[in-house]
């Protein structure tokens, strides 16, 4: 047990209590963020004359060494320490002596952990954004290839109107594009530095909080010091975004599972993304798509878990807030992993154009167009709707499609019908004439594709600013 406190205690902590209280097993993943934060802190302390340049350089060199040794596997982060913050400070002091004990001047673990978490989430947001961009690029590519791939569109899982694969995929393009916008928006509120808020009420040292913020790539320092240490809204926002992404992936996976079924056969998931059965030799199961759908539950769970943890907390820091980590880390790992898997599954999947077209031509998907045709002959839409309903009934009795009725049969139901009904209700017409903005017709689709490709060029994925700052944070001198 190596603790950062103990002066006012007369008895040692019970081992069970120690383990219950400790967070090192899961917060050790923030070591890079913790060390960068400490480097920025001592740079600022030295600039303000609170620490000597000599101490600053000893601390920075010591911290860089710790980070190097941990990544090289020469130094192990063990449960002997309460959390990642204690680990760094204790090892530093062991290595460099008294200067190490000066690191925590004007700082509390409360603002330190608030900082580490913001830095960590900022990096994860960039990771999610990169994964989303890859999925969007795959979608854009598939859409460009499938502007003329006709398939049925569904409502209530019943065939509704014909559309194209490009148009169907375009729906998911919009969803993931909005997810990226949400991430960028979340980053704006997150990107303020809480360091210097102290335990809750700031500090009497003349800290330059804006300077620390700049060193760490933040847009500025947070305002109210109590809010700085007790705010986890940015994390909740991120968990909400992850939940929405998981929901989008789940809807898409659900469709892929249906499309891949023996009944639909619209797609075939590649062997590399399928699994077999231990008993039924013929089976090729969409387990990966099912897991992508199933993982959604735990991501929602993380969001609900943290919302519930936060709901009754008085100001400012309470240890309950340590519970922000495990579930949130799980949600980030889950969604970022799912996005990568999903991208691989989507880009290796085969689309069966013939089956999609066959399916679109059955099931009266051209019924709306038949009604619109009658409207063109001067019949009010409500009457046209009824006529076509009767035509569909006649087809069901005859066991054929609308386009298979003879002109006499059409005329017997609605005398205004002419020979030109046949081209008017062909699948091509049904799709190609749908040219309102956002519709599946080829010109409308071309516009959508243009906007998609411009968007992908104009908005590159977010990156983690901290990676690029290591150089300037870890050097010695001013």
Q: Which of these ranges, 87-95, 288-296, 317-325, 344-352, lies near ligand ARG under the rule CB under 6 A?
A: 317-325
Nearer to ligand ARG among residue 83 and residue 179 (C-beta): 83
Nearer to ligand ARG among residue 123 and residue 198 (C-beta): 198
Which among 139, 166, 175 is positioned nearest to 346, based on CA atoms?
Answer: 139
Q: Which of these ranges, 106-114, 167-175, 269-277, 390-398, lies near ligand ARG under the rule CB under 6 A?
A: 106-114
Number of helices (H) and strands (E) in the chain: give both, helices first: 22, 4
Q: Considering the rule CB under 6 A, would residue 309 count as an interface residue with ligand ARG? A: no
Least distance (Å) from ligand ARG to the CB of residue 200? 10
Three-class SS of residue 378? coil
- Cis? peptide before 316, omega within 30° of 0: yes
Instruction: Give the separation between CA 3 and CA 16, rounded to whole angstroms.
Output: 15
Least distance (Å) from ligand ARG to the CB of residue 14? 17
Instruction: Give the separation between CA 202 and CA 229, rounded to whole angstroms.
Output: 10
Residue of the chain from 113, 256, 402, 414 that contacts ligand ARG (CB under 6 A)? 113
CB atoms within 10 A of CB 283: 11
Q: What Å distances lie between residue 50 and 9, 43, 67, CA to CA?
A: 29, 10, 25
Which among 250, 235, 228, 227 is positioned nearest to 303, based on CA atoms?
Answer: 235
Q: Which of these ranges, 105-113, 328-336, 390-398, 463-471, lies near ligand ARG under the rule CB under 6 A?
A: 105-113
Nearest residue to ligand ARG by CB is 322
- Joined tokens for residue 131: 């994964």
Least distance (Å) from ligand ARG to the CB of residue 323? 8
Pairing relationship of beta strands 350-351 and 150-155 according to DSSP bridges: unpaired
Q: Considering the rule CB under 6 A, would residue 83 count as an interface residue with ligand ARG? A: yes
Least distance (Å) from ligand ARG to the CB of residue 179? 28
41 is catalytic: no
Q: Considering the rule CB under 6 A, would residue 322 count as an interface residue with ligand ARG? A: yes
Three-class SS of residue 164? strand
From 41, 85, 156, 474, active-site residue: 156
Q: Give the residue carrying structure tokens 């005329």.
A: 411
Report the chain's terminal Cα–Cα distance, integer Å: 36
Q: Considering the rule CB under 6 A, would residue 321 count as an interface residue with ligand ARG? A: yes
Q: Considering the rule CB under 6 A, would residue 371 count as an interface residue with ligand ARG? A: no
Least distance (Å) from ligand ARG to the CB of residue 252? 35
Residue of the chain from 74, 156, 319, 382 that contacts ligand ARG (CB under 6 A)? 319
Nearer to ligand ARG among residue 87 and residue 252 (C-beta): 87
Instruction: Give the separation between CA 17 and CA 94, rounded to whole angstroms.
Output: 25
Q: Considering the rule CB under 6 A, would residue 229 count as an interface residue with ligand ARG? A: no
The one-character DSSP state at 271 is G
Q: Which of these ranges, 57-65, 107-115, 267-275, 435-443, lies near ligand ARG under the rule CB under 6 A?
A: 107-115
Q: Considering the rule CB under 6 A, would residue 180 count as an interface residue with ligand ARG? A: no
Q: Considering the rule CB under 6 A, would residue 310 count as an interface residue with ligand ARG? A: no
Three-class SS of residue 180? helix
277 is catalytic: yes
Three-class SS of residue 163? strand
The residues annotated as belonging to the active site are 156, 277
User: Can you give the binding site for ligand ARG, defined by CB under 6 A?
Assistant: 23, 27, 83, 109-110, 113, 317, 319, 321-322
């Amino acid at each position: 047990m190596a603790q950062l406190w103990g002066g006012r205690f007369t008895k040692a902590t019970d081992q069970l209590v120690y383990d219950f209280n400790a967070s090192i097993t899961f917060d050790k993943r923030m070591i890079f963020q913790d060390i960068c934060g400490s480097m920025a802190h001592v740079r600022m302390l030295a600039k303000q004359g609170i620490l000597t340049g000599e101490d600053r350089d000893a601390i920075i060199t010591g911290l860089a060494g710790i980070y190097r040794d941990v990544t090289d596997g020469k130094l192990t982060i063990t449960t002997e320490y309460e959390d990642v913050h204690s680990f760094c400070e204790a090892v530093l002091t062991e290595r460099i002596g008294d200067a190490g004990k000066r690191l925590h001047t004007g700082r509390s673990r409360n603002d330190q952990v608030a900082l580490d978490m913001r830095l960590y989430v900022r990096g994860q947001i960039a990771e999610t954004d990169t994964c989303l961009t890859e999925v969007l690029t795959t979608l854009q590519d598939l859409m460009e290839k499938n502007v003329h791939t006709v398939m049925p569109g569904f409502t209530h899982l019943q065939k509704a109107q014909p559309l194209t694969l490009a148009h169907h995929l375009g729906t998911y393009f919009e969803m993931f594009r909005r997810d990226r916008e949400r991430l960028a928006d979340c980053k704006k509120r997150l990107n303020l530095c809480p360091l210097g808020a102290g335990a809750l009420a700031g500090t009497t040292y003349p800290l330059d909080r804006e300077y620390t913020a700049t060193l760490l790539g933040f847009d500025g320092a947070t305002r109210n010091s109590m809010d700085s240490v007790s705010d986890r809204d940015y994390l909740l926002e991120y968990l909400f975004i992850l939940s929405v992404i998981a929901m989008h992936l789940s809807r898409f996976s659900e469709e892929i599972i249906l499309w891949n079924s023996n009944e639909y056969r619209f797609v075939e998931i590649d062997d590399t993304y399928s699994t077999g059965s231990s008993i039924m030799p013929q089976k090729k199961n969409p387990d990966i798509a099912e897991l992508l759908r199933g993982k959604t539950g735990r991501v929602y769970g993380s969001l609900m878990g943290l919302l519930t943890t936060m709901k009754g907390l008085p100001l400012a820091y309470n240890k309950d807030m340590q519970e922000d980590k495990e579930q949130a880390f799980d949600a980030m790992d889950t969604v970022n992993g799912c996005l990568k898997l999903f991208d691989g599954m989507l880009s290796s999947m085969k689309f069966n154009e013939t089956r999609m077209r066959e399916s679109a031509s059955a099931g009266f998907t051209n019924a709306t167009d038949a009604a619109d045709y009658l409207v063109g002959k001067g019949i009010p839409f409500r009457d046209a709707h009824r006529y076509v309903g009767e035509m569909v009934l006649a087809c069901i009795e005859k066991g054929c499609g609308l386009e298979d009725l003879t002109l006499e049969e059409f005329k017997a139901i609605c005398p205004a019908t002419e020979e030109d009904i046949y081209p008017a209700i062909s699948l091509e017409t049904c799709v190609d004439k749908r040219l309102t903005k956002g519709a599946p017709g080829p010109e409308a689709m071309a516009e959508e594709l243009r906007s998609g490709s411009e968007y992908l060029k104009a908005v590159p994925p977010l990156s983690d600013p901290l990676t690029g700052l290591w150089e300037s944070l870890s050097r010695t001198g001013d």
